[in-house]
Amino acid sequence: MGVALFTVLAVTACTGGVSGTPGAAGTRDPLFPKLGNDGYDVQHYGLDLDYDPASGRLTGAATIVARATKDLSAFDLDFAGMDVRDATVDDEPAAVNRAGDELTLRPGEDLTQGETFTARVRYSGSPKTITDPDGSREGWLKSPDGGVLALGEPAGSMAWFPSNNHPRDKATYDIKVTVPDGLQAVSNGQLQSTAHNGGRTTFSWKTAEPMATYLAMVAIGPYEIDDKGTTKSGIPVYNAIDPGAKAKTAEAVAQLPDILDWEEYNFGPYPFSSTGVIVAPAKSAAYALETQNRPVMPLDQFDTSTLVHELAHQWFGDSVTPATWRDMWLNEGFAQYAEWLWSEDHGGVSAQQRFDTEYAKDEDNEIWAFPPAAPPTAADVSARPVYVRGAMVVHKIREAVGDAAFYPLLQGWLRAHRHANASTTDFTRFVDEAAGHRLSTVWSTWLYGDGKPDSP
């Protein structure tokens, strides 16, 4: 979109005597300052995606319903790669500018604080794979068999749709994906309809509960679908299993309803209206991910303990979402601790034994490299201290309050911030209040202290 149009619209806006200013390109996240934007709050994403595996080309239309949080002359979306064809705001053409991963839309008329508006962006191209500061790959991941995993922690969603790409701005989604007949396209939430047209199939998915951008997902491939079951509490199960993974994972996948029942018993009601798992081809990603409703697990990352972990994230991370990326231990410490609890409750080693094994590690072991609540750089958000030492913090809390108070405390925390965001300070304050006294040593030594604590 031309510079000329951009200028003309800007001049028109000025002569209109309006007072809006551009929304900031970033939300000052302590680890990922460029992710997200200020000036508006997204309510809903409608994504219409058409993918051709033969050419690798994606054609997309994103409809974004948002509320202006200030008077805006322009606002940014996060979007990496692809070509933007055009954009509208409230059905009027908007000027488009791109710089790095920022997509700026300038509507013909300023937006007023409090007003709800609809932005529409049409785009196409070969979506990018994004390499994170820690070297992990996310975004649009193509597997050798022509399949795709679209994954987004922490930043990769911007490779396949424009968004306010920060966990702070949760929204509902309708994700529609069209692929050649014979392939499945699986996403978050519930499948609303499947339509065949001219050799192509359109899968329409609806996510009714708020979701952070990093949890949005699409899996395309020759998946086998199992959508017959429900959990004991009546949640529909929709699993998609790569045919090559079926024999090796069937037994563990069949355990999913029992795992979810156990997690509901410990963590309280399941926060979403559907569940399941996607078992993807081996090496299609280098990690499993807790994508909302339906975690993605490449075959070589699949085991029961990891399934317990990813499903625990539905409470810790997906429902109660970190306020910033620095609060990542609120996700990973609890998902890791869920694995320890599962083992303890199912005839394996106890959480105390796991804690002791970890504590026995040398002072120079990587788990003591930094305090779990203070990853020093963006490359550290998924490092061992966030997981293991994070779980050790949870264990110290359990020890301090006792089992009779520990489980109600977890459930109270999850209830207080259900479908919202929370920070580490929210958490320590909540625990101190629930316990009736400050857990000063747990916080100063285990959560924020440098190095290996002097005593277990």
Nearest to ligand TRP of 131, 440 (CB atom)? 131
Q: Applying CB under 6 A, which of residues 20, 36, 154, 372 lies at the interface with ligand TRP?
A: 154
Going from the C-alpha of 448 to that of each of 370, 375, 434, the distances in angstroms are 8, 10, 20
Residue 210 binding ligand TRP, by CB under 6 A: no
Residue 310 binding ligand TRP, by CB under 6 A: yes
Closest residue to ligand TRP in the complex (CB): 382
The piece of 123-131, 142-150, 178-186, 287-295 that touches ligand TRP (CB under 6 A) is: 287-295
Residue 327 binding ligand TRP, by CB under 6 A: no
User: 91's torsion region: left (phi>0), alpha (psi -120 to 50) or beta?
Assistant: left
Distant-in-sequence, close-in-space partners of 420: CB < 8 Å, separation ≥ 6: 170, 210, 320, 321
What's the closest the beta carbon of residue 324 comes to Zn ion, in angstroms? 17
Q: Which amino acid is at 441?
A: T
Residue 241 binding Zn ion, by CB under 5 A: no
Q: Segment 90-149, which members bind ligand TRP (CB under 6 A)? A: 136
Residue labelled with tokens 């400050």: 438
Residue 332 binding ligand TRP, by CB under 6 A: yes
Q: Applying CB under 5 A, which of residues 212, 335, 409, 414 lies at the interface with Zn ion?
A: 335
Residue 153 binding ligand TRP, by CB under 6 A: yes
C-alpha to C-alpha distance for 144 and 284, rounded to whole angstroms: 8
Contact partner at residue 38 from Zn ion, ligand TRP, none, CB < 5 to 8 Å by partner kind: none
Q: What is the DSSP string of 287-302?
A: S-B--SSS-EEEGGG-
Total residue length of the chain: 456
The tokens describing 38, both together, are 């200020």
Contact partner at residue 154 from ligand TRP, Zn ion, none, CB < 5 to 8 Å by partner kind: ligand TRP
Q: Applying CB under 6 A, which of residues 87, 119, 185, 289 lies at the interface with ligand TRP?
A: 289
Q: Give the number of C-alpha atoms closer than 13 A to the C-alpha of residue 455, restricted to the C-beta side.
A: 1
Q: Which amino acid is at 79?
A: F
What's the closest the beta carbon of residue 343 comes to ligand TRP, in angstroms? 17
Nearest to ligand TRP of 119, 130 (CB atom)? 130
Compute φ and ψ for 228, nearest 5 degrees.
-90, -25
Residue 381 binding ligand TRP, by CB under 6 A: yes
What's the closest the beta carbon of residue 393 comes to ligand TRP, in angstroms? 16
User: How buried is 194 (Cβ within 10 angstroms: 0-12 exposed, 13-18 middle, 19+ buried)?
Assistant: exposed
Q: Which amino acid is at 91?
A: D
- The site that binds ligand TRP (CB under 6 A) totals a number of residues, namely 12
What's the closest the beta carbon of residue 381 comes to ligand TRP, in angstroms? 5
The piece of 223-231, 284-292, 356-364, 418-426 that touches ligand TRP (CB under 6 A) is: 284-292
Nearest to ligand TRP of 174, 318 (CB atom)? 318
The tokens describing 294, both together, are 């339906």
Nearest to ligand TRP of 13, 215 (CB atom)? 215
Residue 212 binding ligand TRP, by CB under 6 A: no
Going from the C-alpha of 128 to that of each of 156, 161, 219, 325, the distances in angstroms are 9, 11, 15, 22
C-alpha to C-alpha distance for 196 and 30, rounded to whole angstroms: 46
What's the closest the beta carbon of residue 334 comes to Zn ion, in angstroms? 9
Bridge-partner residues for 149, per DSSP? 141, 219
The SS3 call for residue 82 is: coil
Compute φ and ψ for 316, nearest 5 degrees.
-95, 90
Contact partner at residue 288 from ligand TRP, Zn ion, none, CB < 5 to 8 Å by partner kind: ligand TRP
For CA atoms 97, 49, 215, 309, give the dihedral sign: negative
Closest residue to Zn ion in the complex (CB): 335
The tokens describing 209, both together, are 């509960």
Nearest to Zn ion of 48, 318 (CB atom)? 318
Number of H helices, E strands in the chain: 11, 22
The piece of 27-35, 220-228, 326-334, 373-381 that touches Zn ion (CB under 5 A) is: 326-334
What's the closest the beta carbon of residue 289 comes to ligand TRP, in angstroms? 5
The tokens describing 427, both together, are 């958490």
Residue 382 binding ligand TRP, by CB under 6 A: yes
List of residues contacting Zn ion (CB under 5 A)? 332, 335
List of residues contacting ligand TRP (CB under 6 A)? 136, 153-154, 287-290, 309-310, 332, 381-382
